[in-house]
């Protein structure tokens, strides 16, 4: 059976984050909205970390005003490439 991935509107995600912040129990508003508590935690974390650039959608990168974000992303990419080269050398 094929599982269809759910897509949520930006306004829905923002409202879910607001509700989770306004209540002590995060799982309760998540149940009311029909999402998992884990999803609610994830959206809340993204909203706190990226602010207004959260939830860009469709696999796009988060928008951030952090001046060194592009350097951090380059470092992660190069680190992954070098690890892949090490694995290829071993085999």
Structural domain boundaries of the chain? 10-90
DSSP helix/strand/coil, 83 = helix
Burial class from Cβ neighbours inside 10 Å (0-12, 13-18, 19+) for residue 20 reads: buried
Place of tokens 């909205």: 33
Q: What pLDDT is recorded for position 61?
A: 54
Q: What pLDDT is recorded for position 75?
A: 73
Question: Which residues of the chain carry a pLDDT beneath 70?
Answer: 52-53, 56-71, 82, 84-91
């Amino acid at each position: 059976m094929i599982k269809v991935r759910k897509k949520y509107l930006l306004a829905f995600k923002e409202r879910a984050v607001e509700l989770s912040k306004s209540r002590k129990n995060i799982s309760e508003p998540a149940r009311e909205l029909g999402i998992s508590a884990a999803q609610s935690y994830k959206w809340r974390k993204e909203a706190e970390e990226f602010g207004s650039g959260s939830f860009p959608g469709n696999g796009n990168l988060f928008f951030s005003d952090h001046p060194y974000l592009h350097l951090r992303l380059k470092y992660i990419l190069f680190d992954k490439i070098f690890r892949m080269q090490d694995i290829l050398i071993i085999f």
